Amino acid sequence: MYVYLYSKAEFGVTPLEHNKIIEIATAKVNLSLDVLGVLENGYHEVEMILQEIDLADDIILEPRDSGIALSCDVGYLPLDASNLAWRAADLVLKETGLEKGVQISIVKRIPVAAGLAGGSADAAAVIRGLNRLYQLGMDLETQQRLGLSLGADVPFCVTGGCAVARGIGEKLEYLEGFGSHWVLLAKPNLGVSTPAVYQRYDQTEIVGRPDTAALIRAIQADDMRYVAEHMVNVLEPVTTQMHPIVGKIRRQMLQYGADGAMMSGSGPTVFGFFRQYGRASKAYKNLKKSYAQVYLARTTNRRLER
């Protein structure tokens, strides 16, 4: 069950044709999410801890003389300008004035509208990939600035790793120390609209908030158990009220032996931390009986480790 989260091509098992490149678009989970206020434009000022996991899409890019062409191995994503990968390519080409096009192929594994930043991860991978494919020389800051115009999670997805995100999600303070831990994810068969959840949050009374400083210390000490037991996402009660199944999955995760479980982002995916593979794989099998989208992944730190 823990297999092929990265493309075989990246390991040279299936060599790519020499003019193609592959970028791995990794998902994120929120280890915390707090809302500090509402800005004039309606966006929320947040303080949240984002952690890259190794559940990933593959983004394959190849040069084209002009125009953006997009294909995907699943039928449920738009292949036009409403796809974030398409929009990322358009933005980079316009911004750099490059008179070229690109063929983008997506191998989709990250569930959609799940709270795992799947679309943002694809957009970030296209920005990184075009930079590499056409040797555009964009530094990290430029890539993140471009990414921000596509979505609040995109700047983090450009690098991945583990970071405290403030502002609307774009002010990043990277954290070191958190190791590679088992994360089990389960998504109920429904999608959640991020704007709808933030809107409803404004009308909801908040019960518990994360102690972000304490979580940061635990991450730096690689105290996974503390993190698992103290994770708080202020959007979770909002989404759970709309979809009680989110609460049910969280209880099931704990019942099956997770050290702690929480909803990621605006949901509805719930993830749990496990110390042992054996326990995680048993929980995976149990959850698989009720939910189609269950994934066993690990926290990772791919690009920052290079």
Ligand X SMILES: C[C@](O)(CO)[C@H](O)COP(=O)(O)OP(=O)(O)OC[C@H]1O[C@@H](n2ccc(N)nc2=O)[C@H](O)[C@@H]1O
Ligand Y SMILES: Nc1ncnc2c1ncn2[C@@H]1O[C@H](COP(=O)(O)OP(=O)(O)OP(=O)(O)O)[C@@H](O)[C@H]1O
Would you list which residues are annotated within the binding site for ATP? 111-121
Tell me the per-residue interface mask from 59 to 78 with ligand Y, x by CB under 6 A, - otherwise: ------------------x-
Identified catalytic residue from 28, 34, 54, 259:
28
Strand order in the sheet with 260-263: 260-263, 270-274, 182-187, 293-298
Q: Does residue 245 bind ligand Y (CB under 6 A)?
A: no
Choose from ligand X, ligand Y, none: what does 112 bind? Cβ within 5-8 Å by kind.
ligand Y
The reply to whether 248 belongs to the active site is no
Nearer to ligand Y by C-beta: 33 or 228? Answer: 33
Minimum separation from the CB atom of position 175 to ligand X (A): 15
Residue type, 47: E
Nearer to ligand X by C-beta: 22 or 117? Answer: 117
Q: Does residue 153 bind ligand Y (CB under 6 A)?
A: yes
Q: How far is it, in rounded angstroms, from Cα 120 to Cα 87?
A: 11
Identified catalytic residue from 34, 54, 122, 153:
153
Query: Could you tell me how many residues of this chain bind ligand Y (CB under 6 A)?
Result: 18
Nearer to ligand X by C-beta: 43 or 277? Answer: 43
* C-alpha 261, offset from chain centre: 17
Please check whether residue 170 is in contact with residue 43, taking contact to mean a CB–CB distance below 8 angstroms.
Answer: no
| Residue 22 CB-half CA count within 13 A | 19
The reply to whether 100 belongs to the active site is no
- Residues with catalytic function: 28, 153
